[in-house]
Amino acid sequence: MGRLEEQISRGIQCLRRGGIIGFPTETVFGLGADAANANAIARIYEAKSRPREHPLILHLGELRDLERWVHEVPTSAESLANKFWPGPLTMILKAEPNQGREFRGDNNSVAVRVPAHPVAQALIRGLGNGIVAPSANRFGRLSPTTAQHVSDELGEKIDMVIEGPTCPIGIESTIVDLTEKVPVILRPGHIDEKQISQALGQEVLTVESKTNKAPGSYPVHYAPNTPLTVLYRDDMEKFLHNDANGISVAVLGRSKRPYFSSAAVWQVAPFSPAAYAQNLYGLLRRLDHSGCDLIAVEEPPHRMSWFAIHDRLKKSSIPKIALAEFIKSQSRNNLNHDQI
Ligand code: TXA
Ligand code: MG
């Protein structure tokens, strides 16, 4: 047996015994538990420090497996499944009343996805049951896209991580809510609004990302530890020169570092939206560990293909109104350190 197959079979045994495991999907790494094991599901919430009111996604082997969990499979769900499953699409459907209370809480709906990643598929099939899995990060942090990220995030709190081939998409699945008359995209992703509305033959709505509501409050989702801001290319140097006030800035740029730049660190991001998404969280983690006071991301183009990336950057950002305040406090700190 190869190393990967051996890990998968250990993973299946672990899930059977009520363990929780990190595993790759085509989007990001999940933290999985047997959907029938209430105790293991509780451990997921504990390991992530995730409040119980946030429901988990149920990962299934194929469309047919929905029946047990979903009250009635609408034709819209069948159309989307035929087109996009297995793949990076999660559907919110009306739940079968007595199933899945442990991971969907008091919601009448259940989130389901059939992942395409061979490791995820092998685990589900081997277990012979659905696997519930949130992204394998601590609550509110960036999703992991390598086994190392999972270990850094959750370490001893989980039973094992499957190393396997990693995550080709790199950002979390598109979530579409099919419980109302008009489908609503709750979280944008690799599969975009246009593809979904084409597959359904009807208009769909999108929900504006809900973060950064309160001025001065810190980001609540997908955030690195280091505060992050998004700036237009033309504003970047002006910001570094005039506004950064001596704090050290790590830039995630779209092109080469200008020779005159005063950024402490300059990382060039991949050019295409697909490669950018695939590498985004890994690069943000690297910049997060660079020791800089602030991460400044150069604003990507405003086209449909970048929509999900804008959403994640927005969810990672410190509110604009808090930025000046943050820089002021940080440069004061730096000054104090210098004097000691
Ligand atoms: O790509 C993904 O979806 C990854 C991989 C591991 O599959 N999973 C993931 O799970 O991103 P998580 O838990 O990090 O994000 C799932 C989101 C949460 O924001 C949760 O609130 C929402 O889905 N969700 C789950 N069940 C829901 C429901 N019944 N109604 C509305 N939102 C729901
Ligand atoms: Mg998550």
Task: Kindly state if the Cβ of 174 falls inside 6 Å of ligand 1.
Answer: no
- The confidence score (pLDDT) of residue 24 equals 98
CA-to-CA distance for 313 and 320, rounded, in angstroms?
A: 13
User: What residues contact 222, with CB distance under 8 A and at least 6 apart?
Assistant: 140, 141, 142, 143, 312, 315, 316
Whether ligand 1 lies within 6 angstroms of the CB of 112 is answered as no
For the sheet containing 205-206, what is the strand order?
160-161, 21-24, 29-34, 131-132, 57-59, 109-113, 89-94, 174-177, 184-187, 205-206
Q: Is the CB of 175 under 6 A from ligand 1?
A: yes
Pocket test residue of 70, 175, 210 for ligand 1, highest count of atoms within 8 A of CB: 175
The per-residue pLDDT for 270 is: 97
- Determine whether the shortest distance from the Cβ of 56 to ligand 1 is under 6 A: yes
> Which numbered ligand comes closest to the C-alpha of 153?
2
Confidence at residue 211, expressed as pLDDT on a 0 to 100 scale: 39
Pocket test for ligand 1, best of 137, 172, 222, 312 (most atoms within 8 A of CB): 172
Q: How far is residue 32 from each of residues 44, 110, 323, measured CA to CA in Å?
A: 8, 16, 37
What is residue 217's predicted lDDT score, i.e. its pLDDT? 40
Whole-number pLDDT of residue 128: 98
211 lines ligand 1 (CB under 6 A): no
Cβ of 179 below 6 Å from ligand 1 = no
Q: 46-68 as b/e, with b when 16 or more CB fall inside 10 Å? A: ebbebeeeebbbbbbbebebbee
pTM higher than 0.85: yes
Sheet holding 228-231, edge to edge: 228-231, 294-298, 249-253, 265-268
Ligand nearest to the backbone CA of 31: 1
- pLDDT of res. 215: 36
Distance in angstroms (rounded) separating the CA atoms of residues 42 and 57:
14
Confidence at residue 339, expressed as pLDDT on a 0 to 100 scale: 58
Tokens representing residue 323 in the block: 């930025």
**pLDDT < 50 regions, the chain:** 209-219
Which atom in ligand 1 lies closest to the alpha carbon of residue 88?
A: 1
Residue 54 identity:
H
Element (DSSP H or E) covering residue 231: strand 228-231
- The reply to whether ligand 1 has any atom less than 6 angstroms from the CB of 229 is no
